[in-house]
Amino acid sequence: MEFFFQILINGLSLGFLYALAALGFVMIFKSSSVLNFAHGELMAIGAFLFLVLSTWANLPIWLAFLITLAGSFSLGFIIERFFLRPLIGEALIEVIMLTVGLAIMFKGLMLFVFGGDIHSYPEFLPQALTLHWGAVEVPGVNVATFIVGLIFLGLFGFFFKYSSQGIYMRSVADNQPAAMALGVHVRRVFAISWAIAALVCAMSGIVIGIINGINVHEVSAIGLKVFPVVILGGLDSIGGAIIGGLIIGLLETFTGGYISTGLREVVPYIVLIMILMVKPYGLFGLVEIERV
């Protein structure tokens, strides 16, 4: 039973990690319908930026954190301006390949600068965050992740529901020409959503870095795991991303714990295929109906 609970806790924390990673992905998809294959690399960039600022430059943690957020915000802006804007209106495959190209480029650059080793942050979380519950122990990082995740979830909920910028984003996602006709600055919406998404990526990258250490290959593999998560939850649903992340995380750890560790890496994709066959738009995704 203890084993079961430990796996449960591990699964939930892994799931929360996926959910956090999926948030940024959903942000981009929701406003500009771009499938971002460079997601894992964006997370890694954020994590490395934080690493450089906090350990190499020896800035205080909060300052390093803020500068990282600002840096990735502008990185998202730059990516949108220079790479994706020329492609507005082009075929889907070209946009996808562009993000793949970005992913390869960023990965090469990061391997060049930081190498393929695992880097880790200094300990900075307070010990008090660690929870004990009988024999089961929840590490402080996971608690911190959970809290940060909840805060962000709340913030995004409010942002999309009540702020004017969030409403613009939803309108662009819903119907681009109509939004344009009503005076929404579509290009600015794209730019801002990429910037915010990069910011969220950096956040989740930092969290992953705290839990597992940062390794370029591992973080970009997590970027690919985002796909089953968002498909399960629905590509354009933030709540779906959270629930999808939790389900996939639990599924992975339980398969790893009870069936075989080799199967663990593939299970999300098998589930993905099954979901796509049965419920193509995911649990909470917007169903597009087309009829001839």
Partner 1 sequence: MRKLQFHPCGNFNETYERELTIFETDFGRLSMLIGLFLLFAVIPFITNEYILYIINIIGIYAIAAIGLNLLIGYTGQISLGHGAFFGVGAYAAAILATKASCPFLIAVPAAGLITALVGMIFGLPSARLKHLYLCIATLAGQFIIEYVLVQWESLTEGAEGISIPTATIFGIDLGNDRVFFYVIFICFAVMTWMAVNLIRTRYGRAFIAIRDNDQAAEGMGIPIFPYKLLSFAISSFYAGFAGALFAYYMISITPEPFNLWLSIEYIAMIIIGGLGSIPGSVFGTIFIVTLSEILSHITEYLMNISPSMSGAITIAPLREFVFGLAIILFIIFEPKGLAEVWRIVRSSFRLWPFSY
Judged by the rule CB under 8 A, the positions of this chain that interact with partner 1 are 33, 35, 83, 86-87, 90-94, 96-98, 100-113, 115, 224, 227-228, 231, 235, 262-263, 265-266, 269-270, 272-273, 276-277, 280, 290, 292
Smallest distance, partner 1 to C-beta of residue 127, A: 37
Residue 47 near residue 219, CB atoms below 8 Å: yes
Distance CA 274, CA 185 (A): 39
183-216 residues labelled b (16+ CB within 10 A) or e (exposed): ebebeebbbbbbbbbbbbbbbbbbbbbbebbbbb
CB nearer partner 1, residue 12 or residue 103: 103
- Cβ distance to partner 1 smaller for residue 181 or 292: 292
Comparing CB distances to partner 1, the nearer of 137 and 174 is 174
Nearer to partner 1, 39 or 141 (CB): 39
Q: Please, which residue, 60 or 280, has the CB nearer to partner 1?
A: 280
Both tokens of 172, joined, read 């662009």
Write down the least CB distance from residue 268 to partner 1, Å. 8
Query: Tokens 């996926």 label which residue?
Result: 18
Burial 152-161 (b: 16+ CB within 10 A, else e): bbeebeebbe
Q: What is the dihedral of CA 46, 66, 147, 192, to 10 degrees?
A: -70
Min dist. Cβ of residue 193 to partner 1 (A): 17
CB of 203 to partner 1, least distance (A): 24
CB of 85 to partner 1, least distance (A): 10
